[in-house]
Structure 1
Amino acid sequence: MSDLAQRLTSTQTSLRQWLFDKALPIWWEVGGDREKGGFYEKINLDGTPCDVDRRTRVAARQVYSYALAKTMGYEGETDRPIDQGLAWLSGPARNPENGYLYAVLKPDGEVVKGEFDFYDHAFAMLAYASAFAVRKDPTLEAAGTAIRDAIVRDYSHPIRGFEESNPRTLPLKTNPHMHMFEACLAWLEAGGDDEWKRIAAMIADLCLDKFLHPETGSLREYFDGDWNPIEGEMGRIIEPGHQFEWGWLLLRWTKMTGDAKYAKAAHRLIAIAQDYGTDPVRNATVFELWDDFSVKDNKSRLWAQTERMKAYVKLADAATTPAECEAAIAGAVSGAEGLQLYFNADIEGLYSDRMRPDGTFETEPAPASTLYHIICAIDELATLSL
């Protein structure tokens, strides 16, 4: 067995064991709130829940995580976490007047942030797709499409894409569009209707036409109301983790559509994120660059390491030669080894979220929202073989 094959097998095995034996149990047994419902936002490093205000995206992401765990063959508890997350989305987090979701709630259900948040609704649609994939319950499809149709009705941009609020507030952002794209692909894979495909196609083309820099191919984050990069420093920000994530999504879309233009954009995004946004000394993808590819913020968040893994898995899947495939697998394994650096908590199943530029980690509670990134990356890595 080659060295790369050994590294691949080792990381696949150790990550799956960590996920199944440690992470999934603790994020339900400690992270699920049996009394008030929903999920705790964080777990302290001593293993106690951190009972702070709760973002609706966390409940949605935990539904996704435990639904995916079920498809991966995890034999621990999955149905109760899925049920509890769905109950939070349809109960405390739901605005009974218009059917939209509150973005942030206190643990007792009091609304902290009630205005529309595009990002949280994208994750709600992903949650319903994930639950539908394992249950085929038509009420889940109805819930997902109801949110989608309301957003199309109330928040469509006059030309393409979606607004952040109504009346409009700026900047417009690529990140919620990325997760809307992700939700559309999940629904298409789960058997959703053609409207998901229409929206996915619109977002994919908006990305290529407006989000990407016409000269460098990099992805911008913030835009004015006409989809021009917003003036000033905000318009110059690049997040390497999002470059990897868009690359992963666009390669999935390429496989669905057969259109090579999306793959070309994806390859460029991934190359930028690797060449300029990943520190070879720490084996870690950094948080932010400027649009000249100089480093803006050298901290490294855990989630970006998972997106690096996922992007390289899809490059391997799309490879046209054995050499290309092997190089992509090497990239995925390197990303997986970088991810494992974050699993340094005294209590197994928890993790660090932020690596400092010197390679040490911030001491802070582990965020529940990150499990979604981790389980997806581990599932993707499991598809590779040499």
Structure 2
Amino acid sequence: MTLALLKSYFLEEILPTWAKSGFDDSCGQFVEHLELDGSPQRSGGVRTRTVARQIYVHAHAAHLGVAPSGSLAMAERAFANLHRVAWVGGKRSGYARAFDRRTKTVTDPVRDLYDNACVLLALSWLLTATGKDLYRHQIDQMVIAIDRTLKDAFGGWAEDSDGTLPRRQNPHMHYLEATLALCENNRTSTHMRAESKAFALLRSHFLVGPKGPLHEFFGPRWELAEQYGSDRLEPGHMCEWVWLTKRHDTLAHTDHTAICLDLLSTALTIGRTNDSLFLVDAVSASRPVSPSRRLWPQVEMLKAFLALHERLGLGIYLAQAADVASAMLATYMADAPDGCWHDCLDLANKPTAGTIPASSLYHLWTMVADLVESDRQMAPIRSEAKAC
């Protein structure tokens, strides 16, 4: 029941709020965040990854039939603006990392794997929702651009067009997410090869040892070293990999359940403190880490519980997901402006965020989308049961 309440709150309050306050109609583009009172961002600077993720949210929600009126048109308009302002052509093409939506000028021209992966995810769902060849063509161009601009000799892709260090698992994880969406909705042999290559990095680079934790930061050859912050661990990303690995297994007809169980177990062991249900953002053996708890790791933990429940059919995972949802509603969603949330809590559950980032809208939506899909799959079964 608590999961249903969280889903309803998102669809009835959060998504309509962000469709209105999160979109700057005068510019035809989404904002980076809302202010703490729920009003739109005052400045004009946005990151490509943030607007791309909002394009994705509204396109996916429109495809599922749960989006506010006009959401798909808004998503298409925002992508047209993004492409017009941030696309960098030539031999090292891709989308620039940041721009000002008001002046329509690029503020950070670097082509970053993270940002371009998010654009690819948005394009996948724009194609799925509209069927337009424009988006199919742009997807093909994006895959080529990432392989060419971010080519790396030691596996995976470069962090960005400048070859910035340290190497990071997180952008590669989101490239996997984008290629999964392509394969699930508009599969081609090119998409399948890209997805397989991205998933293979989990065992070849990111996990150290058969049950080793998921590492975040690496040197140029994917080596672990203190100078690159390799001992920093983020339990939220471990949970996110559980969700993605389950999707990969469904696509590829493989079974990595043991890895999923190890990832979730490690995340809960290192991430929960003081008997709290919530995960801290990060832990490190060698340097102090602020004991903050952003919203997104809690959402990813909930998704991991739901993924394992779907995979194994064990009620304990569904119960744990419901417990987290209840705790989120009582803290992150409490006493916040309508359709908003507290994006970060300290260990005493006191809000500490300075804005309400649009990036967390994406995390919340991916959880809600899974619940919407699950409800639809269960609907015929419930109808049949009633008929009997």
TM above 0.5, yes or no, is yes
Hey, what's the Cα distance between the residues in 1 that align with 2:33 and 2:321?
28
**Secondary structure class of the residue paired with 1:336:** helix
Corresponding position of 2:208:
213
- Structure 1 residues 154, 45: closer, same or farther in 2, change over 3 A? closer
* Structure-2 separation of matches of 1:335 and 1:38: 33
- Which residue is equivalent to 1:49? 40
- Contact in 2 for aligned 1:40/1:51 (Cα 8 Å): no
Q: Which residue of structure 1 aligns with residue 324 of structure 2?
A: 335
> Per the alignment, do residues 280 and 255 of structure 1 end up closer, same or farther by CA in structure 2, a change over 3 Å counting?
farther
Distance 1:338 1:295, change over 3 A: farther
Note the 1:293-332 alignment, pairs <5 A.
296-319=289-312, 322=313, 325-332=314-321
Q: Deviations over 1:265-306 (max 9, x none)?
A: 1221111112221346332111002369x9944210101111
* The 10-residue stretch of structure 1 (185-194 or 77-86) with the greater mean CA deviation from structure 2: 77-86
Comparing 89-98 with 217-226, greater Cα deviation is found at: 89-98
2:95 counterpart residue number: 101
How many angstroms apart in 2 are the aligned matches of 1:375 and 1:54?
A: 20
Identity %, equivalent residues:
26
**Higher alpha-carbon deviation: 282-291 or 169-178:** 282-291
Query: Structure 1's 80 and 275: CA in aligned 2 closer, same or farther, altered over 3 A?
Result: same
> Aligned pair in 2 of structure 1 residues 100, 51: CA closer, same or farther (>3 Å)?
farther
Structure-2 residue corresponding to 1:134: 129
Equivalence map 1:162-311=2 (5 Å): 162-166=157-161, 168-214=163-209, 216-232=211-227, 234-260=229-255, 262-279=256-273, 281-290=275-284, 296-311=289-304
Q: TM-score, normalised by structure 1?
A: 0.90
2-structure distance, mates of 1:172, 1:301: 23
Structure 1 counterpart of 2:128, one-letter code: A
What is the CA distance between 1:123 and its match in structure 2? Answer: 0.1
C-alpha separation in 2, matches of 1:99 and 1:175:
21
Amino acid at match of 1:11: L
Relative distance call for 1:346 and 1:268 in structure 2 (3 A) is closer
Q: CA deviation at 1:168?
A: 2.9
Task: Give the aligned partner of residue 119 of structure 1.
Answer: 114
Q: Is 2:76–2:126's contact at 8 Å kept on the other side of the alignment?
A: no
Paired residue secondary structure (2:138)? helix
Q: 2:37 aligns to what SS in structure 1?
A: coil
Q: CA deviation at 1:119?
A: 0.5
RMSD: 2.2
How far apart, CA to CA, are the structure 2 residues paired with 1:149 and 1:233? 29
Question: Quick check: 2:110–2:161 contact (8 Å CA) kept in 1?
Answer: no
Query: What code does the residue aligned with 1:143 have?
Result: Q
More off after superposition, 182-191 vs 93-102: 93-102
Q: How many residues of Structure 1 are paired with residues of Structure 2 in the alignment?
A: 371
Distance 1:275 1:169 in 2: 32
Give the stretch that moved more between structures: 247-256 or 42-51.
42-51
Aligned counterpart for 1:378 among listed residues 343, 363, 368: 368
2:49–2:115 CA contact under 8 A, matched in 1: yes
CA contact (8 A) 2:110 2:162 kept: no
Look up the equivalent residue of 1:101 and give its one-letter code.
Y
Q: For 1:131-177, what per-residue CA distance to the aligned partner results, in whole angstroms no more than 9, with x for missing partners?
A: 11211212112112211111112322214210123453321110000
Identify the residue that residue 353 of structure 1 maps to in structure 2.
343
Deviation at 1:37, TM superposition (A): 2.0
What is the deviation of 1:328? Answer: 1.4
Distance 1:94 1:167 in 2: 17
Question: Match of 2:244, as an amino acid?
Answer: L
Work out whether residues 332 and 381 of structure 1, in 8 Å CA contact, stay in contact via their aligned partners in 2: no
Whether 1:59 and 2:51 are equivalent positions in the alignment is: yes
Verify the 8 A CA contact 1:160 1:202 in the aligned structure 2: no
Q: List per-residue Cα deviations over 1:237-262 (Å, max 9, x = no partner).
A: 110000000111111111222222x3
Alpha-carbon distance between aligned partners in 1 of 2:288 and 2:13, rounded to the nearest angstrom: 35
> What is the identity, as a one-letter code, of the residue corresponding to 1:332?
A
Matches of 2:359 and 2:25, distance apart in 1:
18
